[in-house]
């Protein structure tokens, strides 16, 4: 092979190599510049916060973001350390698709794993000592079981499983109980008791039917003792299917 031909061959190889590098660099750049959605905590329960890393070339204004999870609107609660915080709506356990639409109408998608919520909030109403279940929402609140002697009239409750096992025993302020307030002269007054009202009860999210028994208990009853528990008066009971 002549030196001239060898030289042309080497120049051809160098040219091909430079072209290959340019193509690869362009591909790499396009992948880097591509808008992406990354979910930081992949498994969450309804009511919890999921953290989203949104990589877009445009600026992010959380007030102009539209976020849905399985086509259900999700509340954007804030932004911290470049992560968008979104509250997970009430969804069934399993895989879910997160979709974010930016101000510039760019759509980003990623997958999330929905876990079973550990508790439920029951929205209840009481009238003439009859308690009615209005609706339920998923929750991850810890159970508050207040059983000591309180400062006012209370509604005591016991929650039982399908096997009649006692799961939770607690109290809430009696719905409709009057409240104390100061008048313009500094004197303390108390509003009258109303025989009706709304309240929220947090219960375990255990599969099956739960039985909830409600009792009346005044401020003098010590519900941390067997004597106090025996002094309660059963007024109503309801069943909840999880």
pTM of the model: 0.56
Instruction: Outline where the chain has alpha helix (H).
Output: 3-33, 226-230
Domains (ranges, CATH) in the chain? Answer: 36-114 (2.60.40.10), 119-241 (2.60.40)
- Rounded Cα gap, residues 161 and 152, in angstroms: 29
- Rounded Cα gap, residues 95 and 43, in angstroms: 9
Q: What is the mean pLDDT of residues 113-123?
A: 87
Find out whether 68 and 87 touch, Cβ atoms under 8 Å: no
- pLDDT tens string 129-142: 889 999 888 777 76
- pLDDT tens string 135-181: 888 777 766 665 555 556 788 999 999 999 998 888 888 776 555 55
Find out whether 91 and 46 touch, Cβ atoms under 8 Å: yes
Dihedral sign from CA coordinates of 193, 197, 202, 205: positive
- What's the angle, vertex CA 132, arms to CA 131 and CA 136, rounded to 5? 125
**pLDDT reported for residue 189:** 57
pLDDT band at 18 (very low <50, low <70, confident <90, very high): very low
- In this predicted structure, the answer to whether residue 209 has a pLDDT above a threshold of 70 is yes
Could you tell me which residues come within 8 angstroms of residue 3 by beta carbon, excluding any fewer than 6 positions away? none
**pLDDT reported for residue 182:** 59
- Rounded Cα gap, residues 165 and 159, in angstroms: 8
**pLDDT reported for residue 71:** 92
**pLDDT reported for residue 158:** 94
**pLDDT reported for residue 147:** 55
Find out whether 198 and 176 touch, Cβ atoms under 8 Å: no
DSSP letter at 229 equals H
């Amino acid at each position: 092979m002549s030196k001239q031909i060898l030289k042309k061959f080497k120049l051809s190889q160098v040219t091909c190599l430079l072209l290959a590098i340019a193509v690869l660099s362009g591909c790499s750049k396009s992948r880097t510049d591509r808008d992406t959605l990354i979910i930081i905590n992949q498994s969450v329960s309804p009511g919890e916060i999921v953290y989203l890393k949104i990589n877009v070339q445009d600026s992010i204004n959380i007030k102009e973001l539209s976020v849905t999870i399985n086509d259900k609107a999700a509340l954007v609660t804030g932004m911290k350390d470049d992560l968008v915080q979104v509250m997970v709506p009430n969804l069934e356990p399993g895989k879910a698709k997160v979709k974010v639409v930016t101000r510039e109408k760019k759509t980003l998608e990623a997958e999330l794993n929905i876990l079973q919520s550990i508790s439920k909030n029951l929205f209840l109403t009481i009238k003439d000592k009859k308690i009615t279940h209005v609706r339920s929402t998923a929750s991850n609140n810890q159970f508050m079981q207040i059983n000591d002697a309180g400062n006012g009239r209370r509604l005591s409750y016991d929650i039982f499983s399908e096997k009649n096992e006692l799961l939770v025993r607690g109290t809430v302020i009696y719905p409709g109980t009057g409240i104390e307030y100061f008048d313009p002269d500094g004197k303390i007054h108390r509003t009258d008791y109303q025989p009706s009202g709304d309240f929220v009860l947090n219960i375990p999210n255990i599969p099956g039917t739960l039985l909830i028994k409600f009792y009346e208990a005044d401020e003098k009853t010590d519900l941390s003792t067997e004597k106090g528990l025996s002094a309660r008066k059963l007024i109503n009971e309801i069943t909840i299917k999880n």
